[in-house]
Amino acid sequence: MNIATRNEPIYVFRLTPKISLIWTTLGSLLLILAASSAGWYYSIIHDRAVIFSLESAGSGAWRGILAFVILLVITFVTIIVHELVHGIAFAAFGGSPRYGFKFKYFLPLAYATSPGNLFRRNAFIFIALAPLIVLDIACLLLLAIFPQASWLIWVIAFNTSGAIGDIWIAVQLLRCPQSIRVEDREEGIAIYAPPNVTRRELPFARTDKNRKRSGAKALLNLAFMALALVLIFSFLLVPVLKTLEVPSFIIGNNYFWIFRWINNTKGFSIEFNWISFVIVILTLLLLSFLTNMVRRRNI
Q: How far apart are CA 227 and CA 236, in angstroms?
A: 15
This prediction has a pTM of: 0.70
The CA–CA distances, whole Å, from 259 to 69, 155, 187, 221, 252 equal 25, 29, 33, 21, 7
Task: Show the CA angle centred on residue 67, arms to residues 64 and 71, nearest 5°.
Answer: 140
Q: How far apart are CA 254 and CA 269, in angstroms?
A: 17
Task: Show the CA angle centred on residue 235, arms to residues 258 and 47, nearest 5°.
Answer: 160
Q: How far apart are CA 72 and CA 52, in angstroms?
A: 16
Beta pairing class for 267-272 and 249-252: unpaired
Q: How far apart are CA 9 and CA 180, in angstroms?
A: 10
Q: Can you give the pLDDT at residue 233? A: 64
Q: Per-domain residue ranges for the chain?
A: 11-201, 215-298
pLDDT tens over the chain, length 299 residues? 443 455 788 899 988 877 877 887 788 778 878 988 998 899 899 887 665 554 544 455 566 677 778 888 999 999 999 999 999 999 999 999 999 887 766 566 788 999 999 999 999 999 999 999 999 999 999 999 999 888 999 999 999 999 999 999 999 999 999 999 999 998 889 999 988 888 887 887 554 444 445 555 666 666 666 666 666 666 666 776 766 677 887 777 666 676 777 888 877 777 777 676 677 667 766 776 676 677 667 65
Residue 197: count other Cβ atoms within 10 Å of its Cβ.
Answer: 18
State the Cα torsion 282-17-83-89 to the nearest 10°. Answer: 150
